[in-house]
Amino acid sequence: MQLEMDIEDWPPPASDWADWEALATRAAEAVAAIEPALANPRLTVSLLFTSDAEVHALNREWRERDKPTNVLSFPMLERVDLVHLDPEEGLPEMLGDIALAHETCVREAAEKGISLEHHAAHLIVHGLLHLAGHDHVKSDEDAEKMEAMEIAALAKLAIADPYGDRT
């Protein structure tokens, strides 16, 4: 999977591009290790580090929810198409877009007593799993499965269980 990243309205000191690019790459590699569909080299994901205002506008326009949120995912492939995508033949395929909201990420990290980098890594993993067709809203079973995948991916990054209820 290739990441196309853009950073806007992500103020210093958090705007050191090399650090955020490396963090996102590590998070993508970790989640691809536990979700094989994301390991396809033909996949491309657009990742935007931006402001609450921009995520709020995107949420209102595309999800009809007039509020900011920490991360938005916009899948462009159905799960069935993703899992059957030939990794060897064909042009690159856009899996989807992810946008992270700076102010919300900073506030949530502070509330959880964790670093912004660890929280952002969790949200990138979370967003990538959504792009891969995983959900946590439809059922408790789906939520538990997605959380377990997030915990496993974050463990590969030496990041503690963000839900705090598993060993």
Q: What confidence tens digit (pLDDT) does each residue in 56-82 have?
A: 999 999 999 998 899 999 999 999 999
How many degrees, rounded to 5, is the angle at CA 45 between CA 95 and CA 160?
A: 110
Which residue type does 64 have? E
DSSP conformation class of 132: T
What is the share, in percent, of the chain residues with pLDDT greater than 70? Answer: 93
Predicted confidence (pLDDT) per residue in 78-108, tens digit = 999 999 999 999 999 999 999 999 999 999 9
Distance of alpha carbon 84 from alpha carbon 82, whole angstroms: 5
According to the model, what pLDDT value does residue 167 have?
A: 46
Write down the number of H helices and E strands in the chain: 6, 4
Q: What's this model's pTM, rounded to 2 decimal places?
A: 0.92
pLDDT at 21 over 90: no
Which run of H or E residues covers position 96?
strand 93-101
